[in-house]
Amino acid sequence: MAASVTGLLKPWTPRVLLVRWSRYNPYYLEPEPRKEVYHIPETELTPEQKEERELKSVRPIKAATNSVTSSVFNDPVLSKFVNMMMKDGDKIIAKGIITQTLENMKRKQVEKYHKAPEGKKAEIECNPYTIFHHALENCKPVIGLASIQKGGKFYQVPIPLTDNRRRFLAMKWMITECRDNKHRRTLMYEKLSQELLAAFSKEGNVVKRKHELHKMAESNRAYAHYRWW
Amino acid sequence: QLNQNIRGVHLFHSIHGVKGSGKTMSLCHAVHYCSKQGWLVLHIPDAHLWVKNCKELLPSSYHASRFDQPIQASNWLRNFRTTNEHFLSKIKLRQRYVWTKRESTEEGRPLGELVDMGVSRVKSSSDVVGAVLKELRLQAGGTEGGFRLAVAVDGVNGLWGRTTLKKEDKSPVAPEELTLVHNLRKMINNDWCGGAVIATLSQTGSLYAPSSAYLPQELLGEEGFDSMDPFIPVPVSLYSEKEFESCYLYYLDRHWLQHPHSQTEEGKKELIFLSNRNPSVLERLCAFL
C-alpha cells in the first residue's frame, strides 16, 4: 500500500517542516545516526547499499529525535528506561537520576573491588551498564497473564509475551517499586541502585514479583486452552 | 613560583581562570606545599560564605558601626586550631586583650589559649579572629622565633563586592561593616612582611557577578583591584594534552572508566570533545561512564 501511495506523492518539501511527533508523509525516509555506515569507502559498498545511498540523496528524510546520538555511548535500552522514568516531559531530571544511579552503583562496586582479596577480584562486576542490563534480564517475566472472558466469567489465562512487552514490564515494575516502597528520606537514585544491585544477584522485590507472576501462571495452567491465538 | 625566597615585602598571587579549571585545587596544592615547608597557614575555604546566608548578625561590641558573625567566626577558629596545632603553643601574645569586665587575656600567653577562648565564647569570636590576625601580622616577619605566614583565601572577590545581608531596618550591609571582612582586608594590605598571600577569584559563589566573568578586573571591581595592587595574576587554563592524558590514565588505572567504549581511542576523542578538556566537566562525564 505504501508503494502505491509513494508513487503518487510528489517530493514537495513544505515551508514549515513537520515536527517529529506528528504524522510524517510516508515519502520521508528514516535518518541513520550511526557513524560506521558513513565511514565505509565507495569501493566496499554492495549494490543494495549503493542503491540505498542514491535513494537517500533524492528523497527527503525525517528529522532525528533529540534522544538519538551518533556517540559511542548511546544505549537504546537505557534511553527507553529514561523515557519511562520521565514525568511531565522533564527528561533532564530523569537523565540526571539515571546518571547518579550509575555512578552510585559503580562507586559501590569499585569500593568492593578494591577491598576484595586477589582471588575474588575477577568475580566482582564493576561496569554499571552490564549490571543494569543483567538486572533487567533477571526481572523480565517469561510468561504473562491475560483476562479472558468465557461464559460470563473472567479467567486469568497464561499467555506468551513478546520481547517488547517483557522489557516494558520489567522496567515498569522496577520504577514503581522504587517509587512506592522507599523510606521518605531515601533519594530515588539511592533506592534504584540498591534495587538494581539486588536484581543483579537475583534478590529483591522486583524478582519476587516476577516469581509470583510465574507461580500464578503455573497455578492457572488449566485455563491455558481458553487462549485462541 | 612559590619556591621564591620571600623575605621582606610579601607577594600577592591571585589565581584566576574559567569555571571548573582547577583554581581551588591549585590553591590546595600551594597550601599543602607551604605547610610541608613549615609555614603557618591561614586558610579561608570560601570568603563568599562570610558575605551571604548569615543567620545571626550581632552588632559588634568593639566598634559601634560594625557587625559580628559568631557562627562563621567560631567555625573558622575551630578549623584554624586543627590545622596549625604546633604553632599555637609557640606564639606568644604581645598585647593585652580585654573582652568583658571580668575576662581578659594577658601578654605572653600562648595563642592557643586565645583561640580556645574564641571557640568557647561564641559572642566575641569575631573580635578574637581580629586579634589573632593582628598578632600573626605583627610577629610574622620577626627574627626571633620567626615563622612564615601564608594567607590562602578562596573566593577573594567576595570581600569587595556587595553582600546579601541586611540590617534590621532592611538596608543592605556593605562588606566593610563586617568585622571578619574588615580584618581580612587588613591582612591583604601591604603593611606586613615575611609571608605570602595566595588568593583565588571564583565566580561560583560570588554575588551579583555575571556567570561569564573570570578575569580579575571583572570579578574584583575597581575597589578590590586598587587595594590588591601590585599583584601577580596566575592564570589557570584547561587541561593541556599531557594533563588530559595523565587524568585519563589515572581513571583507567583506578578502574573508574568502566564503559567498554570509553577505553577505546574513539571514546577518548569523544571525551575530549564533550568536556573541552575542562577538569570538572570531565569528572562529571566519567562519573557515569
Report cis status (omega within 30 of 0) of the bond before B230.
Answer: yes
Name the residue in chain A with its Cα closest to that of B266. Answer: A72
Rounded CA-CA distance A56/B149 in Å is 71
- Which residues on A lie below 8 Å from B270 (Cβ)? 71-73
Q: How many CB atoms lie within 10 A of CB B89?
A: 11
pLDDT in tens, chain B (289 residues): 444 444 445 677 888 888 888 888 888 888 888 888 888 888 888 888 888 877 777 877 777 778 888 888 888 888 888 888 777 777 777 777 777 666 777 777 788 888 888 888 877 888 888 888 888 877 776 555 567 778 888 888 878 878 888 888 888 888 888 888 888 888 777 667 667 788 888 888 777 777 777 777 777 777 777 777 677 888 888 888 999 999 999 998 888 888 888 888 888 898 899 888 888 889 888 888 8
CB contact under 8 A, A129 and B266: no
Q: Residue A18 has what pLDDT?
A: 56
SS3 B197: strand
At A74, phi and psi to the nearest 5?
-75, 130
Selection from B88, B141, B95 nearest residue B119 by Cα: B88
Cβ–Cβ below 8 Å for A72 and B254:
no
Q: What is the mean pLDDT of residues A54-73?
A: 85
Quote the cell numbers at residue A121: 577480584
B104 touches chain A (CB under 8 A): no
Interface check A1 vs B, CB under 8 A: no
The predicted pLDDT at position A97 comes to 93
Cα separation of B21 and B29, whole Å? 14
The residue in chain A having the minimum alpha-carbon distance to the alpha carbon of residue B260 is A127
Output DSSP code: residue A35: S
Which of B252, B256, B258 is best to mutate for the A interface (most A CBs within 10 A)? B258
**Cβ–Cβ < 8 Å for B280, B203:** no
Which of B256, B259, B289 has the CB atom closest to A110's CB atom?
A: B256
Residue whose C-alpha cell is 582479596: A117
pLDDT of residue B143: 52
Distance from CA of A84 to the nearest CA of B (A): 19
Taking a contact as any Cβ pair under 8 Å apart, which residues of chain B between 246 and 285 contact chain A?
254-256, 258-262, 264, 266-267, 270
d(CA B132, CA B112): 10
Kind plus residue range of the DSSP H or E element containing A36: helix A36-39
Judged against a pLDDT cut of 70, whether residue A15 lies above it is answered with no
User: In terms of CA atoms, which chain B residue is nearest residue A95?
Assistant: B288
pTM as predicted: 0.81
Point out the residue among A71, A106, A128 whose CB comes nearest to the CB of B270: A71
State ipTM: 0.78
Q: Tell me which residue in B258, B264, B267 faces A127 most closely, judged by beta carbons.
A: B258
Q: What is the pLDDT of residue B1?
A: 46
The CA distance from A37 to A197, in Å, is 36
**What average pLDDT does chain A have?**
86
CA atoms in the 13 A half-sphere facing the CB of B31: 20
Neighbours of A95 (CB within 10 A): 18
CA distance A34 to A71: 8
Work out the end-to-end distance of chain B between its first and last CA atoms, rounded to an integer number of angstroms: 36
Asked whether B275 and B281 are in contact (CB, 8 A), the reply is yes
Q: Is B58 exposed, middle or buried (0-12, 13-18, 19+ CB in 10 A)?
A: middle
Residue B151, helix vs strand vs coil: strand
Chain A contacts of B260, Cβ < 8 Å? 127
